[in-house]
Structure 1
């Protein structure tokens, strides 16, 4: 008679210590790490490059006025380039709306999201300022700030920016989902950016990115209807996060895992190792494995 296989122990769980103990120490470990600030700098650098080249395509040179196709392709190439540069360092959000969506989708911590957004806005200003400094005065114009056409209402403009950003953020989630592939999403995100510009330029000049709108607005000091390019993209990003993570590809993280991610104490590498271990087991996991998913949260 074969003796029953003993249940596999659950390591690291201390029944006398409540789950989440010492989270403050682990949160500060993330914020004070070199990799954290490397990622924040990557967001600053990538956003400044994106804004510099993107706005550069909008400048009205007397000898060659920009076309919609030229602008769309330039923003496409700029987006693909900076995603390829920063994706393995920071996730290459390069956009406060994308960062908001990833925060809501329990992909990054609150501290990381806040620092990313500050870095992105600073990068937008730096990119616009650099372009302003190297461009002849007669060509600078309004430096490609987003404006709403005279026959478009504010409500219509918000709706357009919402839709454009909605498809961009959905593409971000689908292209960067670690459960699907580990390849660079640069090409697909670039295509999504180009798609938005091919349509959105006619309505609002196409923002989809508050940092892209904020940078030149600061440099030329023009904030007319600037709120549209925050409300539209942010709302579209939030809707995209909810639809992707709830309806299209449900995220089954527990509440404790979500709180740990929000606080920056979630060990993603440990979760990946645990998931890979489960996938190698016959039957692909079960209740025990589900419970062990909390090992990266509890101490």
Structure 2
């Protein structure tokens, strides 16, 4: 295994316009995603008293898949289209992004999720965001394992279609592929723990709706799964001789 290339980044990167643009892109994209995703859950609850049905699960999965595909598409050329602190961590451990830029991404993603949940509560006349929770009969340990596996699949897909230098024309369908794996995982894990796979997606509704029960599950699981996916793909799947290009591609001369 080649030595890991963690990049701390330069001090001037923190105030460079490219960093600001990338962070703004992550903020907007994450807000768009969380607004549409959590909004689909609230609208389903508005239409039906009991949302724990097979049809409701499919609707929510499709809404999440479409929202994430769009969010990745609109931010891919600017920030790399992470829209997820776990994806950013996966890129960080693989040496594809500097620590300074990762911190900016994390702050932007969390703020975007909170703003989206707040706007959603205001726009729906005060409806309290539902967020995520572990289902009855499912232990928190099992939920963490489920989040690890699902997030591993999500971040592995991100690496294969959006980060891998050999992706070629496959990069064109990256947003669609990433959205599909998210929707499929929701169908698989939604009835058990809601299938977050994204700490920001869980954090925004938790803050605005003030629902914190088992919230740690949606941090530990996704972050562990993302780190494993980044390490495995970066150091076991990508050949050693493959040039490393950090995402997003920043100018060399600033």
Q: TM-score range by the shorter chain?
A: 0.7 to 0.9
Q: Partners in 2 of 1:215 and 1:223 — Cα distance? A: 11
In the TM superposition, residue 130 of structure 1 has moved relative to its aligned partner by 0.8
Tell me the TM-score normalized by structure 2. 0.86
What secondary structure, in the 3-state scheme, does the structure 2 residue paired with 1:167 have?
Answer: helix
SS of the residue 2:200 aligns to:
helix
Match among 13, 17, 26 for residue 34 of structure 1: 17
CA contact (8 A) 1:245 1:251 kept: no
Supply the distance in 2 between the matched residues of 1:242 and 1:50 (Cα, whole angstroms): 26
CA-to-aligned-CA distance 1:78-127 (integer Å, 9 cap, x gap): 00001110000100101000000000000011100001001000011011
Q: Alignment partner for residue 180 of structure 1, among 139, 161, 167?
A: 167
Q: Which has the higher helix share?
A: 2
**2:4 aligned residue:** none
SS at match of 2:155: helix
What CA distance in whole angstroms lies between the structure 1 residues aligned with 2:187 and 2:76? 25
Work out the CA distance in 2 between the residues paired with 1:79 and 1:94: 8
Matched position secondary structure for 2:226: helix
Name the CA shift for 1:217/1:80 in 2 (closer, same or farther; >3 Å). same
Q: Which among 73, 92, 96 is matched to residue 107 of structure 1?
A: 96
Name the CA distance, whole Å, in 2 between partners of 1:251 and 1:114. 27
- Tell me how far 1:63 sits from its aligned partner: 4.9
1:196 deviation in Å?
1.2
For residues 250 and 58 of structure 1, the distance between their equivalents in structure 2, rounded to whole angstroms, comes to 42
CA contact (8 A) 1:244 1:250 kept: no
What is the aligned partner in structure 1 of residue 132 from structure 2?
146
The answer (yes or no) to whether the contact 2:84–2:200 under 8 Å persists in 1 is: yes
Q: Does 1:83 align with 2:72?
A: yes
Paired with 1:218 and 1:74, the residues of 2 have a C-alpha distance of 22
Q: Greater CA deviation, 206-215 or 178-187?
A: 178-187
Could you tell me which residue of structure 1 aligns to residue 156 of structure 2?
Answer: 170
Equivalent position to 2:206, from 217, 222, 244: 217
Distance 2:65 2:122 in 1: 24
SS in structure 1 of the partner of residue 214 of structure 2: coil
User: Which residue of structure 2 aligns with residue 98 of structure 1?
Assistant: 87
Distance in 2 of aligned mates of 1:65 and 1:224: 21
Count how many residue pairs are aligned between Structure 1 and Structure 2: 238
Report the 3-state secondary structure (helix = DSSP H, G, I; strand = E; otherwise coil) of the residue aligned with 1:107: coil
**CA distance in 2: counterparts of 1:51 and 1:65, whole angstroms:** 22
Q: SS state of the match for residue 57, structure 1?
A: helix
Instruction: Please give the alpha-carbon distance, in whole angstroms, between the structure 2 residues aligned to 1:78 and 1:229.
Output: 19
Q: Distance in 2 between matches of 1:94 and 1:173?
A: 14
RMSD: 2.6
Shift of 1:253: 7.5
Deviation at 1:247, TM superposition (A): 1.6
After superposing on structure 2, the runs of 4+ consecutive aligned residues of structure 1 that deviate more than 3 Å are 62-66, 250-254, 267-270
Question: 1:200/1:35 Cα in 2 relative to 1: closer, same or farther (>3 Å)?
Answer: same
Question: Offset at 1:195?
Answer: 1.1
Quote the offset at 1:32 in angstroms: 2.3
Matched, 1:241 2:209: no
**Shift in alpha-carbon separation, 1:227–1:187, aligned structure 2, 3 A:** same
